[in-house]
Chain A
Amino acid sequence: MMTGIWTIAKMSLLENSRKQVFHVLCLLMLAIIAGSTLLSIFTEGVQIKILKDLCMTCILFGGAAMAIALGSSGIPNDVESRTIHPLIARPLTRAQYVMGKFIGTFITVSIGVAAMTVAFSALIFMFQHSFDTYVGLAVLFTLLEVAIITAIATTVSTFATPAVTTVLTFLAYVGGTIKIGYVGGLIERSSGGLTKALYSMIYHALPNLECFNLKTSLVHHDAVPAAYLGQVALYGVCYIAFVLVLGMSFFARKEV
């Protein structure tokens, strides 16, 4: 079972790493991280804080953009180019195929995020003359957030076109980020029963992405309770598993 998943993941990793969008996004984000030193020069005293804030936002946006761009095109491209037919003819279930695609895309995005993290850590070392241990934790939870976005993109791509998948995943990403502050406020302000029920449904379906944002912890060196981190990690893994199982069941019924 694992061999099948790993073969698809390796194939997906190779395919994604050759895509122009991956190279362009990686280079753009690395250039922005390098360029952020210029912007932080203007703010005397809080240089390092601005640098950390800017670079972490950049890593998150870059990772999310890569996850959306690569995750939304993997399965539809295979279906359109009919390369999926010889794969499904082999002793490989559709669930294994979807799982392999997710893992392959996630590894590709992780490589991009790792490159950005190395550049970010080098900048911190340049400014602080020491490495920041909070970077690892913040990046690890950013990766978990990116994994959720990848899982959503992979699942939506099992029944939608790449363009629709990109839009829906982006909406889920934005909605998940502003969920507690904005969508929660909408529920409180709505008066009608039906509207309230609709908003509540959207509220509970959207991922709680703000929980994975430990940027403020990195910037202000505030310790995050270990129990909270454990709960966030468990929640992330559960959400990914749930979304992927949904995707697998959609794809199992799909005619390709």
Chain B
Amino acid sequence: MRIVRTLAASLALIALAGPCHADGAEELGHHWYVPTYRMEMQTQIAIMAGFALAVLAASWLAKVIRTRRSRG
């Protein structure tokens, strides 16, 4: 009986979640036609690349400073 109850509750939850999910999507239209999604992906890729470059530059700078200090 417990299995049947769990199954019924899960089915109801998922059935409710599907249309809720689809409701927002309908309002926005298909996401592949919405420029906001595309722009946000490009922005995030740029942020990640910028962050990685900044970390690389900082570590290179720290290495240069360490080398100069050990020489001086």
Binding partners A and B:
yes
Chain A positions near chain B (C-beta within 8 angstroms):
28, 31-32, 35-36, 39, 53-54, 57-58, 61, 177-181, 184, 204, 208, 210-211, 213, 215-217, 222, 224-225, 228, 231-232, 234-235, 238-239, 242, 245
Q: Compute how far the CA of A59 lies from the CA of B50 in the bound complex, rounded to whole angstroms.
A: 34
**Do the beta carbons of A235 and B52 come within 8 Å of each other?**
no
5 residue pairs of the A-B complex, CB under 8 angstroms, read A57-B14, A178-B24, A180-B40, A242-B48, A245-B52
Q: Is the interface of A mostly helix, strand, loop or mixed?
A: helix
- Taking the complex as formed, is B22 at the interface, i.e. its CB lies under 8 A from any CB of chain A? yes
Given contacts A32-B11, A228-B38, A242-B48, could you give 11 more A-B pairs where the C-beta distance is less than 8 Å? A54-B15, A57-B21, A58-B14, A177-B21, A180-B31, A204-B43, A215-B22, A234-B45, A235-B41, A238-B45, A242-B52
Chain B positions near chain A (C-beta within 8 angstroms):
6-7, 10-11, 14-15, 17-19, 21-22, 24-25, 27-28, 30-32, 34, 36-38, 40-45, 47-48, 51-52
**Do the beta carbons of B17 and A57 come within 8 Å of each other?**
yes
B6 / chain A contacts, CB cutoff of 8 Å: 28
B47 / chain A contacts, CB cutoff of 8 Å: 204
Asked, given contacts A222-B30, A242-B52, whether A180 binds B37 with beta carbons under 8 Å apart, the answer is: yes
In the complex, residue of chain B having the shortest beta-carbon distance to the beta carbon of A38: B11
A232 / chain B contacts, CB cutoff of 8 Å: 41
A215 / chain B contacts, CB cutoff of 8 Å: 21-22
Asked, given contacts A57-B18, A210-B37, whether A39 binds B45 with beta carbons under 8 Å apart, the answer is: no
**Do the beta carbons of B14 and A61 come within 8 Å of each other?**
yes
Q: Compute how far the CA of A58 lies from the CA of B38 in the bound complex, rounded to whole angstroms.
A: 26
- Contacting residue for A54 out of B18, B40, B43, CB 8 A: B18
- Contacting residue for A28 out of B10, B40, B43, B52, CB 8 A: B10
In the complex, residue of chain A having the shortest beta-carbon distance to the beta carbon of B19: A53
In the complex, residue of chain A having the shortest beta-carbon distance to the beta carbon of B40: A208
Q: Compute how far the CA of A177 lies from the CA of B20 in the bound complex, rounded to whole angstroms.
A: 12
Report the minimal beta-carbon distance from A171 to chain B, rounded to whole angstroms.
17
Q: Compute how far the CA of A231 lies from the CA of B40 in the bound complex, rounded to whole angstroms.
A: 11
B31 / chain A contacts, CB cutoff of 8 Å: 180, 210-211, 213
In the complex, residue of chain A having the shortest beta-carbon distance to the beta carbon of B36: A180
Q: Compute how far the CA of A245 lies from the CA of B11 in the bound complex, rounded to whole angstroms.
A: 38
Q: Compute how far the CA of A213 lies from the CA of B14 in the bound complex, rounded to whole angstroms.
A: 16
Most chain A CB neighbours (cut-off 10 Å) among B15, B27, B31: B31
B19 / chain A contacts, CB cutoff of 8 Å: 53
Q: Compute how far the CA of A152 lies from the CA of B65 in the bound complex, rounded to whole angstroms.
A: 34
Q: Compute how far the CA of A234 lies from the CA of B24 in the bound complex, rounded to whole angstroms.
A: 25
Asked, given contacts A32-B10, A39-B11, A204-B47, whether A231 binds B38 with beta carbons under 8 Å apart, the answer is: yes
